């Protein structure tokens, strides 16, 4: 049984129980190695779950689980307290985190599903971001849609939607910030007090620059502090903060309880968990989660460029330093 510190890895792959997908990819049945307190129900040691292509597809320590005959493959990753059920398929560069539930649905092509969102018999694709307490039922959502609904009197429910979905908060809900034009971008201004992980942002206080409302969630306590810029398709969600002279662009995602300070991030970088990233210029398909707290210096270069297609996933500072302190700036 594999261990990391005080953690015991929660599952193994049964290489004798596999399926071959249409493109020739082999996926293997997962088997629980210990009790797992998943929100849907407890999983006991020895219980069999769904299928993954590799151990990179399902977080090894959190309560997340893949049930029934669901399949997770490619660069997709399931983490947090999430549950994949029925005959779902998760593929491509997909992140499912927090307490998401997916049943009999297909999520693919650069999707982020977070918060307490629920999916049933739906297709979510093409850079869509869905979070909060949103329920998506028998719908098809794609084309860089952004859907968030949280802390409202009732859950938002999307039923029989086809195409791009643009969520607008109800009039009775006070949004977190407004956009003030500044050049070809917008400065954010807090419309209410926001208790961020870095302290209180008071009503009326100015924050960083964004190119559209897509770049910062209107809910939770995420915030972009002055001197930071988030643009293009980059997005800051959940309780994440971006501060210092940071620039996030392209398809970068900062989510969960992440902190990014004095960094330039582009390409397809995802920073989540309680990760903290300081003083880096980084690009590539890199995922940084859990307790990874790293800063340039200490044998780590400021500039890191990863050119591989397969994502690099890091859960601890040790893993991160082992890769980048012993390699050239470009790998």
Report the pLDDT averaged over residues 124-143: 83
pLDDT digits (tens, 9 = 90+) for 296-325: 886 789 999 998 888 899 988 888 988 888
Residue 140 falls inside a structural domain: no
* pTM greater than 0.85 (yes/no): no
* Contact present, 68 and 85 (Cβ < 8 Å): yes
Contacts 24+ apart (CB under 8 A), 249-255: 251/110, 251/127, 253/95, 253/112, 253/129, 254/222, 255/95, 255/97, 255/112, 255/114
The count of structural domains within the chain is 1
pLDDT digits (tens, 9 = 90+) for 178-216: 888 899 999 999 888 999 999 999 988 999 999 988 899
Residue 38 falls inside a structural domain: no
Residue 43 falls inside a structural domain: no
Residue 157 falls inside a structural domain: no
Alpha carbon distance 188, 213 (integer Å): 9
Alpha carbon distance 211, 164 (integer Å): 19
pLDDT recorded at residue 169: 41
Q: Is the dihedral of CA 278, 284, 290, 292 positive or negative?
A: negative
CATH number for the domain harbouring residue 198: 2.160.10.10
Residue 66 falls inside a structural domain: no
Using the structure block, give the residue that is written with the tokens 């660069």: 75
Q: Could you tell me which residues are beta bridge partners of residue 194? A: 201
pLDDT digits (tens, 9 = 90+) for 91-126: 999 999 989 999 999 999 889 898 888 999 999 998
Position 152 pLDDT exceeds 60:
no
Indicate the helix (H) or strand (E) that contains 312. strand 312-314
Residue 136 falls inside a structural domain: no
pLDDT digits (tens, 9 = 90+) for 38-91: 999 999 999 999 999 999 999 998 999 999 999 999 999 999 999 999 999 999
3-state SS assignment for residue 277: strand
Higher pLDDT, 131 or 255: 255
pLDDT recorded at residue 137: 85
Q: What angle do CA 179, 195, 181 make, to 5 degrees?
A: 10
Q: Which domain does 290 fall in, by range? A: 177-324
Q: Which residues contact 39 (CB under 8 A, 6 or more apart)?
A: 63, 81, 83, 99, 101
Using 50, 70 and 90 to split pLDDT, how confident is the model at 154? Answer: very low
Residue 105 falls inside a structural domain: no
**How many CB atoms sit inside 10 A of residue 182's CB?**
12
Alpha carbon distance 271, 91 (integer Å): 19
Residue 48 falls inside a structural domain: no
């Amino acid at each position: 049984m594999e261990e990391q510190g005080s953690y015991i890895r929660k599952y193994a792959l049964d290489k004798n129980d596999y399926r071959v997908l249409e493109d020739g990819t082999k996926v293997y049945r997962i088997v629980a190695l210990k009790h797992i307190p998943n929100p849907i129900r407890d999983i006991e040691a020895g219980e069999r779950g769904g299928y993954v292509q590799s151990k990179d597809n399902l977080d090894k320590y959190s309560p997340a689980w893949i049930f029934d005959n669901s399949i997770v493959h490619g660069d997709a990753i399931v983490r947090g307290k999430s549950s994949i059920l029925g005959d779902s398929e998760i593929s491509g560069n997909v992140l499912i985190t927090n307490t998401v539930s997916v049943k009999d649905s297909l999520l693919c092509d650069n999707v982020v599903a977070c918060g307490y969102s629920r999916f049933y018999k739906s297709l979510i694709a093409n850079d869509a971001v869905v979070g909060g307490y949103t329920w998506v039922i028998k719908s098809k959502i794609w084309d860089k849609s952004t859907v968030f609904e949280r802390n409202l009197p009732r859950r938002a429910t999307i039923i029989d939607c086809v195409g791009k979905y643009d969520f607008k908060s109800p009039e009775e809900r006070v949004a977190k910030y407004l956009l003030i034009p500044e050049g070809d971008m917008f400065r954010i201004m807090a419309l209410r007090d926001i208790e961020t992980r870095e302290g209180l942002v008071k009503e009326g206080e100015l924050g960083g620059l964004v190119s559209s409302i897509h770049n910062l969630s209107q809910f939770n306590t995420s915030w972009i502090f002055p001197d930071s810029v988030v643009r293009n398709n980059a997005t800051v969600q959940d309780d994440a903060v971006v501060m210092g002279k940071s620039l996030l662009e392209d398809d970068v995602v900062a989510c969960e309880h992440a902190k990014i300070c004095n960094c330039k991030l582009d390409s397809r970088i995802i920073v989540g968990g309680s990760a903290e990233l300081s003083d880096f210029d980084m690009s590539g398909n890199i995922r940084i989660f859990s307790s990874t707290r790293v800063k340039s210096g200490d044998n780590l270069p400021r500039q890191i460029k990863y050119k591989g297609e397969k994502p690099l996933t890091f859960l601890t500072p040790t893993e991160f330093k082992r890769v980048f302190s012993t390699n050239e700036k470009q790998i």
